[in-house]
Amino acid sequence: MKNYQVRAFFIDKKDVATPLTDDLIAGGYVQKRGGYIDRARERGIDRPTQYWHLIESWSAASAPDATFGRSIKCGELIFWMAESSGAVSAAALERLKDDVLREPSNRVRGNGLIQDACFDAIARVVEAFDAGASE
């Protein structure tokens, strides 16, 4: 996926309800420092949303043709993208959330589980949206 595709698809998702993502974060699965957290703090934002993380932090700072690929590891961002896009069913996300929250401090494990369950499905939805927009 390219930045311009991700941006076009998710730009209107700011106010989409994502209760499973909220539960995941409330359960302790959230980045504590570094990356987008540090950027948000530098801008005076205490509780950045995943929408802010994607659109204002990553997308706004990246070239339009930058690749949004598997090198992006933030599990809560990928989970939010899966939920807000409908790319992964609520039932599958509920099971995934429960699995990740068995060890919420193990970010490597959680990020891997989330990537494996969600990334390709998100890419299919975003790329199909872009293909439909260009027809």
N residues, the chain: 135
Residue 134 has what pLDDT?
A: 54
Say whether pLDDT at 40 is over 80: yes
Q: Print the SS3 string covering 76-107.
A: HHHHHHHHHHCCCCHHHHHHHHHHHCCCCCCH
Query: Based on the structure, what is the number of domains in the chain?
Result: 1
- Can you tell me the mean pLDDT for 24-39? 88
Confidence band of 4 (pLDDT split at 50, 70, 90): very high
Work out the mean pLDDT of the chain and round it to a whole number: 93
Q: What is the residue range of 67's domain?
A: 3-133
> pTM of the prediction?
0.94
